[in-house]
Structure 1
Amino acid sequence: MKKTFSRHCLALALGALVFGAQAQAEDFRVGFVNTDRIFREANSAKQAQAKLEQEFARREKELNDLGTTLKAASEKFEREAATLSEAQRGQRQKSLVDQDREFQRKRREFQEDLNARKNEELQAVLDRANRVVKQVAEQEKYDLILQEAVYINPKHDITDKVIRALNSAR
């Protein structure tokens, strides 16, 4: 008799837990935000990209011009190499190697500077987006907002709401 009573109590307790968990799960709201879309579509991200392009345009042009000059000098050397003396050929080769090394150094510095600034700008966009995500989550009573996942059902994607809120916050 005692075993039967304990089994009934256990069954009732498990039933109550399952029912309680199910009721609680229905109240649990989850959302997803695609940060890649925010970086592509939000006005602040587009403005940051335009700012970077403007900021680095002069250096990029100088770098492209330097590369074109180096290529032209290398092609000229290839054409004239047979007619040059051994000393002249060696001197021009050394000069081309030095120019190429300088070009590679400047290109590396440019890329490092561009990446650092891009990271700064994207971090500012992300910080702002996270504040907007938090506002949307609080206003619409979300319990959890994810930014990365292997799979998300599209009905949980709130990226459009966040982008609209970001764009209208200006």
Structure 2
Amino acid sequence: MSIRLFLLMGLLCGGLASVVQAADYTIAVIDANRVVEESPQYDAAGEALQSEIGEREKALREQQDELSKLQQKLERDAALMSEDEVQRLQNDIRSRQRRLKYAQVEFQEDFSLRQNELRTKLAKQVQEAVVELAKEKKIDLILSEGVVYSSDRIDISDEVIERLKQRFLSR
């Protein structure tokens, strides 16, 4: 037997031993996006975020409306106004534009920060539910992203969603 053939046989036998040994393991998959989107925690986080930002959003819209009205006034009445009045109105418009732009940037940063906080909290809750379920069902490996195929038999997404619903209702 040549050395190459001997090595190839060894690799094949070693590979087969791994497959046989893997039969002792329990493997499951979850669709992480579906788990998150179908969890009541996801809906609650969206509602909480919307209620937190609603007033600020409204205030920004009102500032934008006031600014638009001033710009329309300048376009409409500039010919009838004195040079000083036009200059004061233009300065007021520029000042309001700067304040509005700053407020919008600050709002966007605060929104993103809060959104990330809620996302992190939800990810932790999903992780805890998955680990708890894995221990209860004696699952050795749970796969998520990058799975090319999985049968419904090993998909535990529904069970994770149910666990999240139970936790949500019990708080």
> RMSD of aligned C-alpha atoms?
2.8
- What are the residue-to-residue correspondences of 1:1-170 with 2, within 5 Å? 13-14=10-11, 16-149=13-146, 151-153=148-150, 155=152, 156-169=154-167, 170=170
Task: Note if contact 1:129-1:166 (Cα within 8 Å) is conserved in structure 2.
Answer: yes
The DSSP-based 3-state class of the residue aligned with 1:31 is strand
Percent of aligned pairs sharing the same letter? 29
1:71-92 deviations in whole A, cap 9, x for unaligned? Answer: 1221221111232233322221
TM-score by length of 1: 0.81
- Whole-angstrom CA distance in 2 between matches of 1:165 and 1:133: 9
Where does structure 2 lack aligned partners over 5 or more consecutive residues?
Answer: none
Where does structure 1 lack aligned partners over 5 or more consecutive residues?
Answer: none
Equivalences, count:
167
TM-fit CA distance, 1:70: 1.3
Q: Classify 1:72/1:157 alpha carbon distance in 2 versus 1 (closer, same or farther; 3 Å).
A: farther
1:41-89 deviations in whole A, cap 9, x for unaligned? Answer: 2111211211121122211111111111111221221111232233322
TM-fit CA distance, 1:154: 5.6
The letter of the residue matching 2:87 is G
TM-fit CA distance, 1:96: 0.5
The letter of the residue matching 2:146 is A
TM-score by length of 2: 0.80
